Amino acid sequence: MRRISVILLILLWASSGGCERTARRPKLEDGVILSSGVPVRNSTAVLAVELTQLRQAEEVEILERKGTEWVRVRTREGIEGWVEARHVLSKRAFEQARALEREMATIERQALGQLLGSAAIRLTPGRASEENVLFHAPQGTLVDILRRERTRRMSQELIPRHYEPRARPEAESASDLWYCVRLPDSFLVRVGWVYAPLVELKVPDRLRHLQGEYPFVAWYELAQVEDPEIGTSAHYLTFDTHRTAPVPGTDFERVRLWVWDLKRHRYTIGRWEIAHGLLPIEHRREATLHRFRVRLYEAKTGALTEVEYLVDVRDPAAPRWLRPRR
């Protein structure tokens, strides 16, 4: 029985043309392998011979596509075979993704998120088609959120950033929210756009229930304190937006300083103010002083101006909000 199985495998390999070294097929385009240990098979059938394996970042020639599931490739060694399409990205798209990664390189994490399911990582925001899909990241992947944009619903058309503090906001059903995210080091392509409803924001547990009508879009830990009854807690500065009626053109509408009250063993709002602004926020810590450089709209003119929020944590139990600098 074992001999028959071996003979069948040999016949399958032979019928597919083997490595087909003699007649070189013309390539459609160049490709890059996204994963490690990707098998190259002699056919797309369930029973197929593994010809070799490919390494992450290895370049191949793409010869043929079979639907959306399979791609026929040729390795540098001249071996031709089939690989699952999810493991291969066109070199052109790969280079565009690297350019996006360089563009976002100086932006630090604004918020931490986690994918709720397998999610398409796209070169641009928008879901009118699958042409901008780079690859799919698995459920549970942690991502750094860098920026936010909106498109018309089921469209690639970006909604312009037009600040209208007194205008009625566009209905959520008419637009899609997108996050530009940075993925872990294990991914070859580390920056892309993902449909926001597929991402859960990992707000610190003790803050999560305090969001109310104004969920956080960005948060920063300022200092930790030891509560003898609760244990370690922390003070935070958060940037928030309205859950259902955000101000058009903004990413956040107000900023709040959350102070852990050691006597009451809960959070209190040390200070808050209306702040209509955009991500990304630039955060820098100098000894006990936190600096937050943000872009805010002027209420009267609608012009964008840079403002620096300062929080002093010299006394870890009592952070002080200093006067903003403009």
CATH number of the domain at 24, please.
Answer: 2.30.30.40
- Indicate whether 95 belongs to any domain: no
Query: H helices within the chain, ranges in order?
Result: 2-15, 91-103, 205-208
Displacement of CA 187 from its chain's centroid (Å): 12
- Indicate whether 31 belongs to any domain: yes
The answer to whether residues 61 and 74 touch, using CB atoms and an 8 Å cutoff, is yes
- Indicate whether 96 belongs to any domain: no
Same domain, 108 and 38: no
Same domain, 215 and 159: no
Average pLDDT of the residues of the chain: 92
- Indicate whether 14 belongs to any domain: yes
> Vertex 96, ends 201 and 251: CA angle to 5°?
35
Same domain, 239 and 264: yes
Same domain, 181 and 280: no
Same domain, 76 and 159: no
End-to-end CA distance of the chain: 81
Q: Is the pTM of this model over 0.85?
A: yes
Percent of the chain with pLDDT over 90: 87
Name the CA dihedral angle for 107, 173, 276, 269, rounded to a multiple of 10 degrees: -90
pLDDT in tens, 222-249: 999 999 999 999 999 999 999 988 999 9
Half-sphere exposure of 123 (CA within 13 A, CB side): 16
pLDDT at 4 over 50: no
Residue 172's pLDDT is 54
- Indicate whether 94 belongs to any domain: no
pLDDT in tens, 100-144: 999 999 999 999 999 999 999 999 999 999 999 999 999 999 999
pLDDT in tens, 24-64: 789 999 999 999 999 999 999 999 999 999 999 999 999 99
Domain hosting 25: range is 2-88
- Indicate whether 98 belongs to any domain: no
- Indicate whether 313 belongs to any domain: yes
Instruction: Please tell me whether the peptide bond between 280 and the residue prior to it is cis, using omega within 30 degrees of 0.
Output: yes
Q: How far apart are CA 248 and CA 131, in angstroms?
A: 29
Closest residue by Cα to residue 248 from 149, 175, 167: 167
Residues 220-254 as b/e (b if ≥16 CB within 10 A, e otherwise) read bebbebeeeeeeebbbbbbbbbeeeebbbbbbbbb
Residue 171's pLDDT is 53
Residue 208's pLDDT is 96
Same domain, 229 and 311: yes
pLDDT in tens, 234-287: 999 999 999 988 999 999 999 999 999 999 999 999 999 999 999 999 999 999
DSSP letters of 209-232? TT-TTS-EEEEEEEEEEEETTTEE
Same domain, 195 and 213: no
Same domain, 8 and 20: yes
Same domain, 214 and 300: yes
Neighbours of 212 (CB within 10 A): 8
Neighbours of 289 (CB within 10 A): 14
DSSP state for residue 47 in the 8-state scheme: S
The answer to whether residues 58 and 188 touch, using CB atoms and an 8 Å cutoff, is no
pLDDT in tens, 198-213: 999 999 999 999 999 9
Mean pLDDT of 157-162: 92
Same domain, 260 and 295: yes
Instruction: Decide which of 41, 57, 88 is a domain's last residue.
Output: 88
Amino acid at 91: K
Same domain, 252 and 208: yes
> What's the 3-state SS for 84-139?
EHHHEEEHHHHHHHHHHHHHCCCCCCCEEEEECCCEEEECCCCCCCCCCEEEEECC
- Indicate whether 93 belongs to any domain: no
User: What total of structural domains would you count in the chain?
Assistant: 3
Instruction: Decide which of 200, 221, 239 is a domain's last residue.
Output: 200
Residue 14's pLDDT is 45
Instruction: Decide which of 88, 122, 143 is a domain's last residue.
Output: 88
